[in-house]
Amino acid sequence: MNIINEELEISKKYMLEEIEFKGNKLVRLTRDNVARVEAMIRNDSDYLKTTDIHAGPQKKYYGSSAYWMTQLKYELLGVEKSEYSYTTIIHEAVNAVDRENSTHLSSDGKGREEIPERILNIPKDKLLRCLRDPDYEDMYLIREISRITSADKRARKNVSFASKFCHYACFYVFEGSEYQDNYSIYDSILKAVLPLYLEYYSVDPRAYDLDDYVQYRKAIDVIRNTCDTSISRNGFDHLLWYFHKGRMDKMIKTEKRCMFKRVSIKIYYARAIPVEAAIWVQDNSLHYSIDSYYQRKLIDDEVVDITAEDFEKKFAKIGIDGWKKLYTPPEEYAVNDGESWIVTYETDDGKKIVINGENGYPDNWKSFIKLIRSVTGKFTM
């Protein structure tokens, strides 16, 4: 064995420990694995400046996210006086996070302009509270930063950027405290592999909508709380991202089953014979039926232009779980006849929701009807 072979043999003991699961290689969630990845990242020349709190602006370099988030720390906590205005700090922190993480805020011509202003419009005490408590006002900070831009074309919701801004702000503003690890980074690689890790730890991946940041963060926390060793959100993100970024083409996708089972809407107008439209999943395919006086179509028509999975994602965004059980108009607008309706929603795990309305509707009723009609076509009395 020559020196090269000896070196390669020694290197094996520093490799990340792996798990075989459903034909895929997963990385074992241990602090030792996290520590090895952190060492590799911090020794990588591509990341030397990004983590340097002293790497301020000079010549053609505009300063690292670590530097600008440290300036934000001075401003929010008052531990030291920054030489920059608060406005400059926010603008440069946004630019640095965007530049270092390739989140492409400027791709729609509005993100780089609008997002710093949104953050500046949040009072400092509220910004600090949101960083300390991510769940404050239903994750207000993530929602506000990621709100869709006003671009005429290609307007974007920048959830990935929002999560990274919040993560790095907490990482440097609250260094060494309990708040340092408050936000998970929303990443496409993690989103793709999380279902496998959920399955490995005996958690049903259908229970989480990973397109939604709140659900995505909850899924990560469930895995972190289930694995054998306690690791941080920061460590979890770095470990999975580093391990899987070059292996995505080798991943074997597991079959996805829809959590959505059936939704129906029955509408009565002026006490006439009702019209009912129903959509359901059968053998992982989408089907629908319509029943009305003028339009009777009770056969199980299979939908071919939208998959069950795509419909489930769109349906989840309606947020029917958050609807009230009964909708009625204000007393001064009450009428004897008019329109009444019943929506029934069932999931694959046996959950059933029934919601009624009498001339009253949830705020996103039109979006709900539009989604139903995108499958059934227009149904009439």
What is the number of alpha carbons within 13 Å of residue 208 lying toward its C-beta? 23
Of the segments 11-15, 236-240, 241-245, which one has the largest average pLDDT value?
Answer: 236-240
Pairwise pLDDT comparison (45 vs 76), residue with the higher score? 76
Residue 135 domain-assigned (yes or no): yes
117, 145, 173 - which closes a domain: 173
Distance CA 131, CA 124 (A): 11
Q: Tell me which of 143, 173, 203 is where a domain ends.
A: 173
CATH code for the domain in which residue 304 is found: 3.30.1560
Where do we find the tokens 């993530």?
Answer: 142
pLDDT surpasses 70 at 273: no
Q: How many domains does the chain have?
A: 3
> Which two tokens mark 352?
């059933």
Percent with pLDDT over 70 in the chain: 90
What is residue 261's predicted lDDT score, i.e. its pLDDT?
A: 79
Yes or no: say if 207 and 144 are a contact pair by the CB < 8 Å rule: no
> Of 204, 232, 250, at which residue does a domain stop?
250
**Residue 266 within a domain:** yes
pLDDT at 333: 63
72, with CB counted inside 10 A (0-12, 13-18, 19+), is buried
Please tell me whether residues 19 and 129 are part of one structural domain.
no
Residue-wise pLDDT for 73-93, tens only, equals 999 999 899 999 999 999 999
165 in the same domain as 267: no
- pLDDT tier at 297, thresholds 50, 70, 90: very low
Question: Which pLDDT value is given to residue 77?
Answer: 95
Residue 161's domain spans which residues?
49-173
By residue count, the chain amounts to 381
Shared domain for 53 and 152, answered yes or no, is yes
Same domain for 216 and 313, yes or no, is no
Same domain, 154 and 139: yes
Measured CA to CA in angstroms, residue 301 lies from 288, 289, 297, 370 at distances of: 6, 7, 9, 19
Contact 343, 264 (CB under 8 A): yes
In a domain, 1, yes or no: no
**128 part of a folded domain:** yes
317 plus 372 within the same structural domain: yes
CA distance 303 to 372: 12
In a domain, residue 179? The reply is no
Looking at the domain assignment, is residue 180 inside a domain? no
CA–centroid distance for 295 within its chain:
40
Q: Are residues 19 and 95 in the same domain?
A: no
Contacts of 127 by beta carbon, 8 Å cutoff, 6+ apart: 76, 119, 141
**100 shares its domain with 70:** yes
- The C-alpha torsion from 166 through 316 and 362 to 358, rounded to 10°, is -160
pLDDT of residue 300: 47
Is the pLDDT confidence value at 160 over 90? Answer: yes
Same domain, 86 and 158: yes
pTM equals 0.68
Residue 18 and residue 88 in one domain: no
Confidence band of 305 (pLDDT split at 50, 70, 90): low
Do 83 and 163 fall within a single domain? yes
Lowest mean pLDDT among 241-245, 280-284, 332-336, 360-364: 332-336
**Are 32 and 62 found together in one domain?**
no
**Taking residues 150-155, what's their average pLDDT?**
87
Residue 337 lies in a domain: yes
Nearest one of 123, 118, 114 to 75, comparing CA atoms: 123
CA 169 → CA 190, 201, 218, 269, 288, distances in Å?
Answer: 21, 31, 20, 54, 48
| CA atoms of 381 and 267, how far apart (whole Å) | 9
d(CA 333, CA 359): 9
